[in-house]
Each structure stands twice: as structure tokens, then as C-alpha cells.
């Protein structure tokens, strides 16, 4: 499914993609929506950058090393994190701010886990946190600090649980999602 057109806010862009993924039979969503802010929601670069950095600083789940820049409503997150969940927390923290049109993530995940143990840790997290049905089959492969997830899951909820579980392991720098949602 491809989404095209305009929306008046970044949260609506995210919500449209999430809603499309919940439609029965949808196996992929290509989000080509553009945020066109109403005149009252526009913030100049300095104001948006200040608001973004204040929001990041005030959020306890976001590491203090993350900083943001802003240009024409496009926010860039820069810095280092230990976990993929910290990267997601930073994105979520600023997504709701008035004036945000898009978020680019330039956050580096600093590995602090021996890569030889990453496969074991990812599988442990998947077993503990992912609610994956017996009809689903998920394979995990590791190359240094990159996890590749392949196989089939029945629903987007299962898909998200598996991807989120992979990001929970310290030292994972990239998650390649090659999962198929079979419906």
C-alpha cells in the first residue's frame, strides 16, 4: 500500500502509516505523505531547535548526549546511544512538537557488547519479550553488531514485537527487517 498526499502535522503522518498497517491483508506500507504545516504551526529554525533540545533534555529516557538541529521544520537528531530503544525514545519525544515536519536520525549506537554474544542476547530477548504465534517463523542472524530478521509473522503486532525485541539488546547498531507479514 502506498500513502500519498499531505497532512497538517508529523503525528498525523505517523498515525496514517500505523492505521494503514492495521488494515487486514496489508503486508507493506510505503509512506510518501508530506507534512504541510498550517501557518500558525510554523516555527522558525531557532525556536524549533530550542524546543527540540529542551524536550530531549527533559525526557529521562533520552541520553544527554543527543542534540538536535532544525531547518524548515526538519529535525536532525545527532549523538550517541547505547540502545535502539534510546534512539526511538528521542524520536518519540520530539515527534509531537508543533512545527516538526520530519525527523532524520543520525544517532550512532555505540556497541558495548562482545559481538560474539549478540546472537545469544538477541534470541534471549526475542524469547522473553516477543509474542510470536506458533505459525510464525523468525530467524535471527548476526553480522558484527547488525541483526537481520527474516521469516514470517502473522500480524503487524508480532512484527513490531520482534523488531522491538531486537533493538532492546545493548550493542545492536542496525536491525535489518526482512520479515514478511502474512496476514
C-beta of residue 1 within 8 angstroms of C-beta of residue 29: yes
Q: What is the pLDDT of residue 159?
A: 83
CATH number at residue 126: 3.30.1340.30
pLDDT of residue 1 exceeding 60, the answer is yes
pLDDT at 114: 61
Q: Are residues 119 and 133 in the same domain?
A: yes
The per-residue pLDDT for 117 is 62
The answer to whether residues 141 and 154 belong to one domain is: yes
Output the domain CATH number for residue 98.
3.30.1340
In 2-39, which positions are buried (b, 16+ CB within 10 angstroms) versus exposed (e)?
eeeeebebbeebbebeeebbeeeeeeebebebebebee
Average pLDDT, the chain: 86
Distance of alpha carbon 145 from alpha carbon 119, whole angstroms: 9
104 shares its domain with 43:
yes
Same domain, 22 and 55: no
83 lies in the same domain as 128 = no
131 and 74 assigned to the same domain: no
Q: Which of 82, 109, 136 is the last residue of a domain?
A: 109
**Is the predicted pLDDT of residue 72 greater than 90, yes or no?**
yes
Dump strand ranges (E) for the chain. Answer: 2-7, 30-35, 67-71, 74-81, 102-109, 137-143, 146-153, 174-181
Pairing mode of beta strands 146-153, 174-181: parallel
- 98-102, 142-146, 174-178: which range is least confident on average? 142-146
Domain extent for 65: 39-109
HSE, side-chain direction, 13 A CA sphere, residue 179? 27
For the stretch 36-48, pLDDT in tens is 999 999 999 999 9
Give tens-digit pLDDT for 98-138: 999 999 999 988 866 665 566 666 666 666 656 665 556 78
Question: Do 29 and 65 have their domain in common?
Answer: no
Taking residues 135-150, what's their average pLDDT? 80
**How many domains are there within the chain?**
3
Same domain, 130 and 85: no
Residues 28 and 50 in one domain: no
For position 166, what pLDDT does the model report?
Answer: 82
- Whether 129 and 148 map to the same domain: the answer is yes
pLDDT band at 84 (very low <50, low <70, confident <90, very high): confident
Q: Do 127 and 168 reside in the same domain of the chain? A: yes
Same-domain status, 173 and 121? yes
Distance CA 96, CA 131 (A): 28
List pLDDT tens digits, range 87-99: 889 999 999 999 9
pLDDT score for 134: 58
Q: Model-level pTM? A: 0.70
Last residue of a domain, one of 109, 125, 153: 109
Dump pLDDT digits (tens) for 12-64: 999 999 899 888 888 788 999 999 999 999 999 999 999 999 999 999 999 99
Domain boundary, last residue among 58, 86, 109: 109
State the DSSP H helix or E strand holding residue 118, giving kind and residue range, or none if neither: helix 115-129
Task: Give the Cα separation of 124 and 166 in Å (integer).
Answer: 10
For residue 131, what pLDDT is reported? 65
Amino acid at each position: 500500500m502506498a500513502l500519498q498526499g499531505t497532512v497538517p502535522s508529523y503525528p498525523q503522518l505517523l498515525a496514517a502509516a500505523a492505521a494503514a498497517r492495521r488494515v487486514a491483508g496489508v503486508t507493506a506500507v510505503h509512506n510518501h505523505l508530506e507534512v504541510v504545516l498550517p501557518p500558525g504551526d510554523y516555527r522558525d529554525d531557532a525556536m524549533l531547535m530550542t524546543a527540540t533540545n529542551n524536550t530531549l533534555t527533559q525526557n529521562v529516557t533520552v541520553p544527554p548526549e543527543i542534540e538536535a538541529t532544525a531547518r524548515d521544520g526538519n529535525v536532525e537528531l545527532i549523538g550517541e546511544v547505547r540502545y535502539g530503544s534510546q534512539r526511538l525514545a528521542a524520536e518519540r519525544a520530539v515527534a509531537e512538537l508543533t512545527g516538526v515536519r520530519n525527523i532524520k536520525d543520525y544517532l550512532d549506537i555505540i556497541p558495548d557488547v562482545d559481538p560474539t554474544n549478540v546472537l545469544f542476547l538477541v534470541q534471549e530477548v526475542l524469547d522473553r519479550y516477543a509474542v510470536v504465534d506458533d505459525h510464525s517463523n523468525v530467524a535471527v542472524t548476526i553480522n558484527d553488531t547488525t541483526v537481520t530478521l527474516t521469516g514470517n509473522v502473522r500480524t503487524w503486532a508480532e512484527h513490531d514485537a520482534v523488531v522491538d525485541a531486537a533493538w532492546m539488546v545493548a550493542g545492536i547498531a542496525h536491525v535489518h527487517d526482512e520479515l514478511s507479514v502474512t496476514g
